[in-house]
Structure 1
Amino acid sequence: MLPTLNGRLQTRIFMLVVFGGIITFLITPVLPDGAPGVPGFDGTFYRITYVILATVLVLGILWELLYHLIQQFRWEKDWPTMFGLITILNEGALVWLLLELGLVPGMPDGFYDYDLPSSFFWAFFVDFTVIWIVIWLWTNGPMRVPLVKWRFFGGRIV
């Protein structure tokens, strides 16, 4: 199967909303929450993790457009599977940079008033990495069995 741009976009949105949403709900309570006295880290951690997930979703759509452009220069117009895994580096780094620069909208009041503690980096790192790896493993393995239509129709969900 050669996923189409439309199929990759649909798959990314579906997987981040469904799997990302479920994993974020389950993993947020066990993430290191940084400094409890800092506004934005006390009881609003779910909001923070879901805003970051939404940021990953929006930026992911833009990344897919860029990846599609780059793929046009490749002979088979597709990525090797490993490229899909290592894009965690550039996508995660961009989201973290935007957090550091205070450019992620929707964060709780006072979130950007302090420097982000190093424990928040580890919370981000664990959350982002777990979601990424679960989604990558699912789409490159078990998803192809029950969703035969997805597999043979360019990765389209609908």
Structure 2
Amino acid sequence: MVPILIGRIQTRLFLLALVGSLVTLVLIPLLPVPGSLSERYRVAFVVLAAVAVLGIAWEALYHLLMQFRWEKDWPSLFGLLTGVPEGVLLWLLLRAGAVPLIDTVPPGWAFATHFAVVWVVVWLVANGPMRVPFLRWRFRGGRLV
């Protein structure tokens, strides 16, 4: 079964909250960015929250675009590649000062590294290990609740 809109949103939020947070906890201390570790974590988790909030709007847009496809779904690789426009938009919003709670914009390479690593790991978990603990996830349209 093709994941329905609410199922994709639930899955995205769940994976960003669980997997994205764990990846962020491990990755941020490894990035040589100026500032205290607590400030770097604060900025990284605000960026992660912004990805989650923007993701709801993106999912609605993807849902609209999928209505023009015969099978009403993207190939799995498209799910990975959708990170590119999402990352670019978030970066532009950060640079424009449109993301609340962020005073200093992280360096571009640090943002790109954090965003890309979280995106790829979340995508990999959604397309593999996610199906083990949630056996009926696919048959419930991607809904977790």
Regarding TM over 0.5, the answer is: yes
Aligned residue in 1 for 2:5: 5
CA contact (8 A) 1:28 1:45 kept: yes
Deviation at 1:42, TM superposition (A): 3.5
Unpaired runs of 5+ residues, structure 2, are none
CA distance in 2, matches of 1:58, 1:156: 18
Give the alignment of 1:18-97 within 5 angstroms: 18-33=18-33, 36=34, 41-43=35-37, 44-97=39-92
Unpaired runs of 5+ residues, structure 1, are none
Once the two structures are aligned, what percentage of the paired residues are identical? Answer: 54
The answer to whether the aligner puts 1:127 opposite 2:122 as a matched pair is no
Once the two structures are superposed, residues 75-120 of structure 1 have per-residue CA deviations (whole angstroms, 9 ceiling, x without a partner) of: 1111111110100110000011111111111114xx26xxx6xxx1
Aligned residue in 2 for 1:106: 101
Structure number with bigger Rg: 1
The TM-score, its normalising length taken from structure 2, stands at 0.94
The list of structure 1 runs, each at least 4 consecutive aligned residues, that deviate by more than 3 angstroms after superposition, is none
Of 133, 141, 144 in structure 2, the residue corresponding to residue 146 of structure 1 is 133
- 1:55 maps to amino acid: A
CA distance in 1, matches of 2:137, 2:119: 20
Q: What is the Cα-based RMSD across aligned positions, in Å?
A: 1.3
The TM-score, its normalising length taken from structure 1, stands at 0.86
